[in-house]
């Protein structure tokens, strides 16, 4: 299975995402924002970073990149698409996910290992998690406050489109503690925390067992593989 | 050449942490009597020809679809003006 990772000017975590894909057992394919060609990949990751220096709005200029019309077409035809952090911002800017992300309510960049509740295990990116399970992966962002009009929030909640919620103190003012959402079809998921930074023992968050041994992020990548091979 | 000025503000109902930080520094530096600050954006679009109704419509579309995100921001004004340098 081939999973594309799109690099935009200012992407930071594209190589980490590619590494996570490889560790999960798939083949990462490097894609470039300026080339409107998905190279026949089976799924896509829009990685974190600061595309275009967060100019205009986070993810706004990247959402108008040449490759994004292909991404939109693929997403609408059911291809799995995961947006991480800046990638999540791009998906909202591109209209593939609802809501928007605004500056953290406390005004500061936050970087910490974040405990999350898995709210939806029926998406292609979360089907290998346990319903109601808890995971810890890094959160590192300045504009992670998920927001949407109240009726949209009610609908997201009512239809089970909230995929992840922050546990403990809300880190950024996200409404209803929302850390990640999905589209109705469950193939497009966006989240602010970074699963790709918690995929390999020795380089992940601390756990009760050992320092930096956390690999909870791997589940996102094994989930999509499971969806793609149909087991 | 004519300039079209587009002003975009964060939605009233949303917290504006940037504005709050600026308000905080005003208080700290002894500027009493200012109870709040909100920070928005001003875009100056230089137009090649005099602004026709068609161009105004085009810029209105740009303002709503690209310069702002209606989930988090409002376009509060679109007007023909001069750049701040002039």
Residue A56 at interface with chain B, using a CB cutoff of 8 Å: yes
Residues of B in CB contact (< 8 Å) with A are 10, 14-18, 20-21, 66-67, 69, 71-73
Q: What is the pLDDT of residue B83?
A: 65
Structure tokens at A59: 């993810």
| Average pLDDT score, chain A | 97
Mean per-residue pLDDT for A174-187? 98
What does the pLDDT read at residue A197? 98
CB contact under 8 A, A99 and B71: yes
Evaluate whether residue B74 is within a structural domain.
yes
- Count the domains in chain A: 1
Query: What CATH number did the domain enclosing A110 receive?
Result: 3.40.50.880
Give rounded-to-5 percent helix, strand, coil for chain B: 30, 25, 40
Chain B environment of A64 (Cβ under 8 Å): 66
Residue ranges in A14-170 assigned as alpha helix (H):
14-24, 68-76, 86-93, 150-158
Mean pLDDT confidence for A2-26: 98
Position A21 confidence tier, pLDDT thresholds 50, 70, 90: very high
Q: From CA A55, how far away is CA A28, in angstroms rounded?
A: 28
Q: What is the pLDDT of residue B1?
A: 83
- Domain housing B7: 3-81
Cα dihedral B67, B69, B72, B78, rounded to 10, equals 40
In this predicted model, what pLDDT tens digit does every residue of A84-107 receive, in sequence order?
A: 999 999 999 999 999 999 999 999
Per-residue pLDDT tens over the stretch A153-164 = 999 999 999 999
Collapsing DSSP states into helix, strand and coil, what is residue B28? helix
pLDDT of amino acid B85:
53
Asked if residue B56 belongs to a domain, the reply is: yes
What range does the domain containing A12 cover?
2-229
Q: What is the CATH number of the domain that holds B28?
A: 3.30.1280.10
How many Å lie between the alpha carbon of A99 and the closest alpha carbon of chain B?
6
A100 contacts chain B (CB < 8 A) = yes
> Nearest-CA distance from A122 to chain B in Å?
27
The CA distance from A179 to B9, in Å, is 25
Identify which has the larger pLDDT, B32 or A192. A192
Residues of A marked as catalytic: 85, 194, 196
How many structural domains does chain B have? 1
A100 vs B contacts (CB less than 8 Å): 69, 71-72
The CA angle A147-A152-A153, to the nearest 5 degrees, is 60
Q: Which residues pair with A11 in a beta bridge?
A: A49
Q: Residue A109: what pLDDT?
A: 96
């Amino acid at each position: 299975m081939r999973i594309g990772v799109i690099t935009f000017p200012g992407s930071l975590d594209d190589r980490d995402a590619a590494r996570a894909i490889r560790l999960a057992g798939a083949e990462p394919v490097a894609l470039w924002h300026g080339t409107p060609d998905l190279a026949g990949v089976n799924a896509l990751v829009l990685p974190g970073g600061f595309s275009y220096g967060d100019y205009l709005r986070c993810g706004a200029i990247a959402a108008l990149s040449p490759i994004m019309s292909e991404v939109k077409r693929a997403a609408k035809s059911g291809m799995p698409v995961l947006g991480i952090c800046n990638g999540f911002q791009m998906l909202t800017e591109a209209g593939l996910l609802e809501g928007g992300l605004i500056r953290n309510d406390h005004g500061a960049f936050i970087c910490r290992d974040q405990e999350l509740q898995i709210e939806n295990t029926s998406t292609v990116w979360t089907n290998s998690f346990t319903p109601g399970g808890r995971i810890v992966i890094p959160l590192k962002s300045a504009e992670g406050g998920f927001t949407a009009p109240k009726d949209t929030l009610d609908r997201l909640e009512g239809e089970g489109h909230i995929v992840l919620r922050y546990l403990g103190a809300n880190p950024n003012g996200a409404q209803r503690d929302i850390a990640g959402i999905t589209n109705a079809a469950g193939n497009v998921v966006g989240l602010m925390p970074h699963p790709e930074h918690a995929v390999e023992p020795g380089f992940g968050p601390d756990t009760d067992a050992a320092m930096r041994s956390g690999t909870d992020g791997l589940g996102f990548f094994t989930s999509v593989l499971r969806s793609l091979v149909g087991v | 050449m004519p300039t079209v000025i587009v002003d975009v503000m964060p939605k009233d109902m949303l917290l504006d942490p940037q504005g709050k930080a600026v308000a905080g520094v005003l208080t700290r530096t002894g500027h009493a009597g200012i109870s709040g600050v909100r920070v928005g954006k001003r875009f100056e679009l230089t137009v090649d020809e005099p602004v026709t109704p068609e161009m105004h419509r085009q810029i209105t579309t740009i303002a709503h679809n690209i310069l702002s995100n209606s989930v988090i921001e409002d376009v509060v004004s679109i007007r023909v003006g001069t750049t701040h340098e002039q």
